[in-house]
Structure 1
Amino acid sequence: MDKEGKMVIFCLLLAAMSCPVFTQIWSATVVKSLDALVSSCVVIPCSFTHPEGNVPMSRLRGIWHLLNDRDQCIYHNDDTQVLDSFKGRTRFLGDLGRSNCTLEITSINDWDNGPFCFRIELLATSSSNKFSFVEDCVELRMLHDPVVPELIHPKTAIQDHPYTVTCSVTHTCSTHMPKLTWSRGSADGIIEVHRERHLGYWEVQSTLTFIPEEKDDHSEVTCTSHFHGSKTSSATLTLYVKRKEDYNHIIIPTVVGIGTAVIFGVFCIIMVKKYKTRIAELQNQDGRMWNRLSRLSRRIFSDGPRPSRSDLRPNNVNSKSCADQKISKPRFPSPKSQPKSCNYKEGLDDSDDYMNTAEIYGNL
């Protein structure tokens, strides 16, 4: 490197060390946009740096004004410099000595959309130490309806077991955070947390723990968010309660069913036995009746057709006496000349006697 190059670098380093403008510049960190609920409030987070280093707060003045005209102030130390539409509605929350320029706006109107910019002035110095951060301004998005809370919970609750529901809602007013309330439960079972999610946005989270009962099945649990300015929003869940592990609803119907089946089976067996006994009795009665009718028919119709061979057989008493008899058979016998056989009956007439002896002779 030649001497000229070394001389240029040395001059630049010397200028940087001797001029504070190169060591620290004017800058501001402001959220670009925020949601603002009409009639509620909004807090605009802001921080800044300036080249003067540590300056007593008494020598600093912070101003918030409209982007198009820095003389239209929405906040100023001198209240007479504030626009009439913002008087009493703006409050400086920051600490200028710690480079904090946070602003609060309450009772938000529909036309309070901005953009709003921050300006810092160092008093008792030259006019060059006043700076408006017009490139880092905030614009508000008006919300006419509040944000609906979000519920996080298990799908099913178990009877007589702790059940937890979490309700959360976002907002942009950390000085007047929303109040969350529940439709059931007590304060002892509620835990509330307030935290910043990201720059300018905060979250209120309420956790409810309670023990559901069987009667709570299909009941509703509602979380309501009360915003600053009297606007509210709510979210509701339907509670589904699962009964305890109880098998009575299974055991009792099963026992009743088995008992009914046993009773019905015993009844059927008894009825079958009675039926079989009755059938047997009827069969016996039918047999005796048939025998009686058969004998009666033989008596009544004795003059009818010729009796069968079984009817002509001699009984046991006559069989012995007739067994020893010898029947003489002439070659051409005459019915009237033949002595009466053992089968002869006194009550039969001549024609019947003839027929019976003929049958006997034919069989012999």
Structure 2
Amino acid sequence: MFVLIWATLLFSVRDNNAVTGESVGEITRCDRGFCITLRRGEVTAEAGLCVVIPCSFTTDYRFTPQHMVWYKCEPSKYRCVDSDVILHTNKNNKKVQSGFMGRVSLLEPDVSQRNCSIIINDLTESDSGSYRLRVNGIRNDTSDGFTFQLRSNVSVKGLTQKPTVMVPPLTEGQQTTLTCTAPGLCSGSDPNVTWTWRGAGEKTSHITGNITAFKTEDLTAVTNRHSSTLTFNPSAEHHGSNVTCKVSFTNIITTEETVTLNVT
């Protein structure tokens, strides 16, 4: 499971054009009074889930930040352009890539807090790449901006995490509830959860007489847990059968877990 880093980042800055205020796992670069701190190394995540790019910045004391712009562009490009924009905090700017619209948001919307951490939902492997920040604002009553050279590299791999299926002790004729929890702490769009079962030598089918319910539990402002319950009356025919919980995320990304029922 990816490590979600979203607490406000506080760093000290001492010298321009130098690495400053670093701690384990973080790297800071400064240039002309503008400093940015990102996570050291590659940020990894899995398709279907989400990723957080931890980030904080400071500026020249004469500069007042007003908007943040995040780009996804190749490291070989010295300058990112409008077609590379994935997030612009100026709502009047309509140049965000269509593939990222609605999927990217700041963890701290207040630009004055200088927390530039973002979360990207509904990941696909094509989201792998290099991400870069620009800050627009006012300096000496004039519009100005600064694009940081330090980039965050993100790697999105195929989904390997599986759902967690909880099975209580089963007794014939006594109603019971199975619970399936989707992997990850966030995805963006709610996943679809389906339950099926297969008896010995039989085809996969839905458990008859069952009641299913889907639940989303908000853990923080940006994280949540998705789960589904299956309530039914176990019988002798269920003993030894396999029950499968399948979780389907956006972009036809699926994962499943199968358990064998033991009915007494």
Residue 133 of structure 2, aligned match among 107, 110, 118: 118
Instruction: Write the letter of the residue equivalent to 1:114.
Output: G
Corresponding residue SS for 1:119: strand
Q: Distance in 1 between matches of 2:138 and 2:57?
A: 16
Instruction: Write the letter of the residue equivalent to 1:44.
Output: V
Q: Is the Cα–Cα contact under 8 Å of residues 166 and 205 in structure 1 kept in the other structure?
A: yes
| TM-score under structure 2 length normalisation | 0.58
| Structure 1 residues 61 and 71, CA gap change in structure 2 (3 angstroms) | same
| Richer in strand (by share) | 2
Q: Distance in 2 between matches of 1:138 and 1:172?
A: 21
Q: Distance in 2 between matches of 1:34 and 1:172?
A: 15
Q: Is the Cα–Cα contact under 8 Å of residues 216 and 239 in structure 1 kept in the other structure?
A: yes
Q: Does 1:206 align with 2:219?
A: no
Q: Identity rate of aligned residues, in percent?
A: 16
User: Equivalent residues in 2 for 1:42-121 (5 A)?
Assistant: 42-51=50-59, 59-66=66-73, 68=75, 69=77, 71-72=79-80, 73-75=84-86, 77=88, 87-91=97-101, 92-94=104-106, 95-97=109-111, 99-104=115-120, 108=124, 110-121=125-136
Q: Distance in 1 between matches of 2:149 and 2:225?
A: 29
- Alpha-carbon offset, residue 192 of structure 1: 2.5
Corresponding residue SS for 1:148: coil
Tell me the residue number matched to 2:35: 26
Q: What is the RMSD computed on CA atoms of the aligned residues?
A: 4.2
- Alpha-carbon offset, residue 114 of structure 1: 0.9
| Structure 1 residues 193 and 240, CA gap change in structure 2 (3 angstroms) | same
User: Equivalent residues in 2 for 1:180-259 (5 A)?
Assistant: 180-183=193-196, 184=207, 185-187=210-212, 190=213, 192-194=215-217, 203-242=225-264
Would you say how many aligned residue pairs link Structure 1 and Structure 2?
206
Q: Is the Cα–Cα contact under 8 Å of residues 115 and 140 in structure 1 kept in the other structure?
A: no
| Richer in helix (by share) | 1
User: Equivalent residues in 2 for 1:1-364 (5 A)?
Assistant: 26-28=35-37, 32-37=42-47, 40=48, 42-51=50-59, 59-66=66-73, 68=75, 69=77, 71-72=79-80, 73-75=84-86, 77=88, 87-91=97-101, 92-94=104-106, 95-97=109-111, 99-104=115-120, 108=124, 110-124=125-139, 130-132=146-148, 134=150, 137-143=152-158, 145=159, 147-154=161-168, 156-171=169-184, 174-183=187-196, 184=207, 185-187=210-212, 190=213, 192-194=215-217, 203-242=225-264
| Structure 1 residues 25 and 34, CA gap change in structure 2 (3 angstroms) | same
- Alpha-carbon offset, residue 116 of structure 1: 1.7
- Unmatched segments (≥5 aa) in structure 1: 1-21, 243-364
- Alpha-carbon offset, residue 90 of structure 1: 1.4
- Unmatched segments (≥5 aa) in structure 2: 1-20, 22-32, 197-206
Structure number with the bigger relative contact order (C-alpha 8 A, sep ≥ 6) is: 2
